[in-house]
């Protein structure tokens, strides 16, 4: 029997070119946990001509929202998002980090006002996209470990 | 250059070079009013709210003096005890209430970013008077005013920042602004309290070079300005180590023998042991004048923001 490492999907989304090791963070962003009704395929540490090694996530019967794509761009800026409809790639696009990340990252500074019960969403300004550097709009500090601070 | 009228002042980074120069020139015009030689009523009928969630002596009093010298009134609190804040009111709600009582707000708060948050909830201008370890732009402006007034400018001046450069908020904002203004910077600190890399990167981005040293006696000879900050005891787990380090950055007559005749020594105050009392009597000491400069600088800002006619 022929074995396929990763099978094609009929409808859904393929997130390709994820930096190796980041696939599980992508699953977290997509809230893929116990209550998933469709098939999710994860390939980790796959050889890649462009990147050396990469991760891939395939989610069947689901297309991603803009906020989810912005979150993915912040932890996997090299990723490409392919929308699959009836086994064909209907859309293919590279993710781009947004200029501002509102309500999707938590400030690492415990003394930042955005970490209190004040009625505001966290907000980060993306000052540089490659390499990615983001700064809290409130306390002005740089967020060092972006993946660890995704909300 | 954006108009100051109705504008917030949250971070020194919000000000362009032209903005800074405008404030400094306006501050110089305010000096006769700040010392009571002339009388101004330019802010008569205006009310300034001072919300001090943390104790402060110089900043609060100089804001109150500045507003009074321009004929305006001040209301507010110092320390949150006995206010609705002690009952658990959010900063956002306090700001929405206070803005209805006054024409501008001055805020000192223990958390970083508090002033920016306050500005989002206030339709009246908000002036940041220190937010935790974050920004304190009016302190930076009075420091800049002192350097400009005493030395005649910024470009080409050798400014040495000495002490706790890692945690001291005044030195971060000051270094940032001085880099914008083309000053030559030297950073002197113990190895564990060096200037954060973000500030060093900014200096490099401005096309400037800087010197970093652990020894004050190596750099004192070239200095035009020596900006001294306190090294706090709690930064050192070993009290003996603290004594040793703090002692090596002490400014005294011996150190100043090699200094330029017109070197000025600044300090944001309060000082403890970093400047010997004997230095107070020398021509170099400008730290008390620097503290006074807080009044004309804050008068200039209030006048510009509240649209007085001075």
Fold of B138-290: Rossmann fold (3.40.50)
Residue A1 domain-assigned (yes or no): no
Q: Domain ranges for chain B, please list them.
A: 12-135+294-306, 138-290
User: Could you give the C-alpha distances from B296 to B51, B223, B287, B300, in angstroms and in order?
Assistant: 21, 26, 15, 6
Same domain for A79 and A25:
yes
CATH number corresponding to B12-135+294-306: 3.40.50.1370
Using the beta-carbon criterion (under 8 Å), do B91 and A118 form an inter-chain contact? Answer: yes
In A, what residues contact B, Cβ < 8 A?
109, 111-114, 116-120, 136-142
Which CATH number goes with the domain that contains A134? 2.30.30.20
**pLDDT-based confidence at residue B295 (cuts at 50, 70, 90):** very high
The domain total for chain A is: 2
Phi, psi of A82 (to 5 degrees): -110, 125
Same domain for A139 and A111:
yes
pLDDT per position as a tens digit, B124-141: 999 999 998 889 999 999
Give the model's pLDDT for residue A1: 53
Using the beta-carbon criterion (under 8 Å), do B132 and A111 form an inter-chain contact? Answer: yes
Residue A2 domain-assigned (yes or no): no
Minimum-distance CB partner of B90 among A114, A119, A138: A119
Give the model's pLDDT for residue B125: 98
This prediction's pTM: 0.89
pLDDT per position as a tens digit, B24-50: 999 999 999 999 999 999 999 999 999
**pLDDT-based confidence at residue A43 (cuts at 50, 70, 90):** very high
The interface predicted TM-score (ipTM) is 0.87
B109 vs A contacts (CB less than 8 Å): 113
Using the beta-carbon criterion (under 8 Å), do A137 and B113 form an inter-chain contact? Answer: yes
Whole domain around residue A35: which residue ranges?
A: 12-94
Is there a common fold for B12-135+294-306 and B138-290? yes
**Chain centroid, CA B161 distance in Å:** 14
A141 vs B contacts (CB less than 8 Å): 112
Residue A36 domain-assigned (yes or no): yes
Q: How many CB pairs under 8 A join A and B?
A: 51
Using the beta-carbon criterion (under 8 Å), do B91 and A113 form an inter-chain contact? Answer: yes
SS3 of chain A: the string is CCCCCCCCCCCEEEEEEEECCCHHHHHHHCCCCCCCCCCEEEEEEEEECCCEEEEEEEEECCCCCHHHHHHHHHHCCCCEEEEEECCEEEEEEECCCCCEEECCECCCCCCEHHHCCCCCCCEEEEEEECCEEEEECCCCCECCCCHHHEC
């Amino acid at each position: 029997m022929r074995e396929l490492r990763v099978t094609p999907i009929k409808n859904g989304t393929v997130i390709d070119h994820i930096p190796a090791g980041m696939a599980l963070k992508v699953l977290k962003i997509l809230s893929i946990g116990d209550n998933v009704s469709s098939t999710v395929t994860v390939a980790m540490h796959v050889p890649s001509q462009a990147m050396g090694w990469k991760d891939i996530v395939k989610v069947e019967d689901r297309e991603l929202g803009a906020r989810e794509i912005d979150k993915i761009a912040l932890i996997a800026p090299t990723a490409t998002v392919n929308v699959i409809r009836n086994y064909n790639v209907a859309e293919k696009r590279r993710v781009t980090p947004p200029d501002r990340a509102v309500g999707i990252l938590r400030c690492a500074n415990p003394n930042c006002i955005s970490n209190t019960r004040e009625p505001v969403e966290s907000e980060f300004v993306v000052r540089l996209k490659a390499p990615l550097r983001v700064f809290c709009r409130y306390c002005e500090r740089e967020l060092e470990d972006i993946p660890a601070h995704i909300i | 250059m954006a108009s100051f009228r109705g504008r917030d002042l949250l971070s020194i980074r919000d000000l362009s070079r032209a903005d800074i120069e405008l404030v400094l020139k306006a501050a110089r015009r305010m000096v006769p009013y700040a010392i009571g030689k002339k009388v101004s009523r330019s802010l008569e009928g205006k009310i300034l709210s001072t919300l001090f969630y943390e104790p402060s002596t110089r900043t609060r009093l100089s804001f109150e003096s500045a507003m009074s010298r321009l004929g305006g009134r001040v209301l507010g609190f110092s320390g949150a005890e006995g206010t609705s804040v002690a009952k658990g009111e959010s900063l956002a709600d306090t700001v929405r209430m206070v803005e209805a009582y006054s024409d501008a707000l001055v805020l000192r708060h223990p958390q970083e970013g508090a002033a920016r948050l306050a500005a989002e909830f206030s339709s009246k201008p908000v002036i940041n008077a220190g937010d935790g370890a974050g920004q304190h732009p009016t302190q930076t402006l009075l420091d800049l005013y002192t350097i400009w007034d005493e030395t005649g400018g910024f470009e080409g001046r050798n400014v040495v920042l000495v002490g706790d450069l890692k945690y001291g908020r005044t030195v971060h904002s000051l270094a940032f602004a001085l880099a914008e203004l083309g000053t030559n910077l030297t950073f002197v600190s113990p190895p564990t309290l060096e200037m954060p890399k973000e500030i060093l990167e900014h200096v490099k981005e401005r096309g400037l070079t800087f010197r970093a040293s652990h020894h004050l006696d190596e750099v004192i000879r070239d200095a035009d300005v020596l900006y001294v900050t306190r090294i706090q005891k709690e930064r050192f787990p070993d009290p003996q180590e603290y004594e040793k380090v703090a002692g090596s950055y002490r400014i005294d007559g011996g150190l100043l023998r090699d200094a330029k005749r017109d070197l000025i020594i600044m300090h944001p105050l309060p000082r403890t042991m970093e400047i010997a009392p004997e230095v107070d009597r020398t021509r170099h000491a400008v730290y008390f004048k620097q503290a006074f400069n807080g009044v004309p600088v804050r008068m200039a800002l209030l006048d510009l923001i509240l649209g007085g006619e001075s």
